[in-house]
Amino acid sequence: MPLIIRKSVESAEDLWVCGNMKTFLIFIVIFGELLGWSNAQTAVDNFSRQFLGTPLFAESNIANAEVSPQQDSKVEPLQTFSLGQIFKDPQKSPNSQNPQISAISAILLDINSGKILFEQNADEVRPIASIVKIITALVVLDNVKKDQTLVISGIGLSVAEAGSNIWFETGEELKVLDVVKAMLIASGNDAAYELANFYGGGDVARFVEMMNQKVADLGFKSMRFSDPAGIESGDIASARDLANLGRILLRKPELADFVSKPQSEIVSVDGQNRHELKTTNELLKDSSMHIFGIKTGTTDEAGQCLLAAAERDGHKLISVVLNSPDRFSETRTIINWGFDNFIWP
């Protein structure tokens, strides 16, 4: 997780005050991370924005700071401080052999330090199917108002009849975040289109533009989208970018909670309609794996895809497999390999 620290100050006194304040806030976040406070960064950002005039953390520069060796010109005035400098990198055990998997692209990284533990064609840009819904959720989260609701228009089922759907009834009113929950847990294509239609002002294409702008702002060079559900051929990304996207999602408490649930239920505002949600991520049902997310994806073109997160003994890993013959088995393989073959200081 990079901290983006502004360099500009008005005076030597400002430098001393801001420097000490920033150091104090940085350690709050570090201890928050160690104690599992998922909203520590958000709280510190809000405080920093109010009293220092700028957030300490610049989410818009995460991808550039962690992935791209060349910083974009618009982030040159920023100094990047990575938690990898404080969280010691896990070290590979001597004589350890890389796992053998058949996925076209794959990656495994340590969440805290950002260290890559394993990669296989990680920069190859490939179709990612329903993993696209993570970006749909992030755009909605940027725009949703407290307790906001939407009325189902019916566009979801008219466009996305195939694949996974929630089967909302036209005219029912639901909380926006419940629709997001349905999209992330049960991978509802109709949920994705209803959200896009609502926040696109009745224009799904406009919402897709918002999605592409979002990933551009985040600095993800490989990502391009043509629809909000991942059912079209123009939805692409690299495994490396998806792993870092997963890190971003897990810092959003609402979304992190949704993707960790094997099942849930949502109810319309009037209480007349109930929708049971069952995860498409089978690993969430395997207690031995300690999986806490994140998103599946499958189309004929993309093959079986999975972005996953797991924890063991306080250490957290993110994995990605794209176009795998068995995404759940191969994810088990690389995650277990990572925990078994690396030592954390």
Residue 89: count other Cβ atoms within 10 Å of its Cβ: 17
H or E stretch at 341: helix 327-341
Residue 20 lies in a domain: yes
Whether residue 18 is predicted with pLDDT greater than 70 in this model: the reply is no
pTM score? 0.78
Regarding whether 30 and 139 lie in a shared domain, the answer is no
Q: Does the residue 93 lie in any domain? A: no
CB 344 within 8 A of CB 117: no
- For residue 27, give its domain range: 2-85
Residue 81 lies in a domain: yes
Domain boundary among 85, 110, 134: 85
Same domain, yes or no, for 32 and 151?
no
- Kindly report, residue by residue over 210-229, the tens digit of the pLDDT: 999 999 999 999 999 999 99
186 in the same domain as 55: no
- Provide the 10 A C-beta neighbour count for residue 24: 10
Mean pLDDT of 276-299: 96
Residue 134 lies in a domain: yes
Q: Which residues are catalytic?
A: 130, 133, 187
Cα-trace Rg, the chain: 20
168-227: pLDDT as tens digits = 999 999 999 999 999 999 999 999 999 999 999 999 999 999 999 999 999 999 999 999
Q: Same domain, yes or no, for 62 and 133?
A: no
3-state helix, strand, coil in the chain (%, to 5): 40, 20, 35
33 and 162 within one domain: no
| Overall domain count for the chain | 2
pLDDT digits (tens, 9 = 90+) for 326-338: 999 999 999 999 9
Let me know whether 277 and 195 are in one domain.
yes
**H-helix segments, 200-269:** 204-218, 239-250, 253-259
E strand or H helix at 292: strand 291-299
| Residue 277: CATH number of its domain | 3.40.710.10
Look at residue 43 and tell me if it is in a domain.
yes
Same structural domain, 209 and 285: yes
184/294 same-domain check: yes
State the amino acid at position 106 in one-letter form.
A
